[in-house]
Structure 1
Amino acid sequence: MAKTLGTARHRALIALLIEKREAAGLTQTELAVKLGEYQSLVARLESGQRRVDVVEFLAFADLLGFNPHDALDELIRIKD
């Protein structure tokens, strides 16, 4: 399997998460606190240095108030 960091889908996922965080009116630090993590984790995710696993993705969806199914439907349409 090819590496996924930096692919079109990975970049789209990052953009989606940033958009949803900003729409929720949260800073990286505020989101990190809600996740029970350090701000640096959110920064690494949003800068593309780290992958988002499924469990983290679902936590983001819960905290930021978006439907994970709809988000995945958008990402599936993107071709790398």
Structure 2
Amino acid sequence: MPAFTHRPEYRALIGALREARLKAGLTQIDVAEALKTTQTFVSKVERGERRIDVIEFADFCHAIGIDPGALLHEVIGARPRARSRSRDPVS
């Protein structure tokens, strides 16, 4: 995946999608057919050449039989949260 196009979290998420697809025993063609798209699209997503939006992410997850929220939490939710800044009360 091109390092300049995606944050590490995005690469991890796409990697988890690919791993889940393989674990489900599905080919890129299987997923493409479920998404009514091409195998090339699925390949480009998995290689990081094509970014997907949140709706496409959810569709991809459903096509491979996993819960999008669970996968997102597994990959992104495990990282430390940014500390919130406390605001001084306005007088």
- Unmatched tracts of structure 1, length 5 or more: none
Higher helix fraction (1 or 2): 1
Superposition deviation, residue 11 in structure 1: 0.9
Contact 1:29–1:38 (CA<8 Å) still a contact in 2?
yes
TM-score under structure 1 length normalisation: 0.81
Contact 1:5–1:50 (CA<8 Å) still a contact in 2?
no
Superposition deviation, residue 76 in structure 1: 3.8
**Identity, % of aligned positions:** 38
Superposition deviation, residue 13 in structure 1: 1.1
CA distance in 2, matches of 1:62, 1:31: 10
Superposition deviation, residue 57 in structure 1: 1.0
1:28-78 deviation line (CA, Å, top 9, x unaligned): 112111110011100110010111111111111212121211212132434
- Unmatched tracts of structure 2, length 5 or more: 81-91
Give the aligned CA root-mean-square deviation in angstroms.
1.8
| Partner SS for 1:70 | helix
- Greater Rg over alpha carbons, structure: 2
Query: Which structure would you say has the larger RCO, counting Cα contacts within 8 Å and 6 or more residues apart?
Result: 1
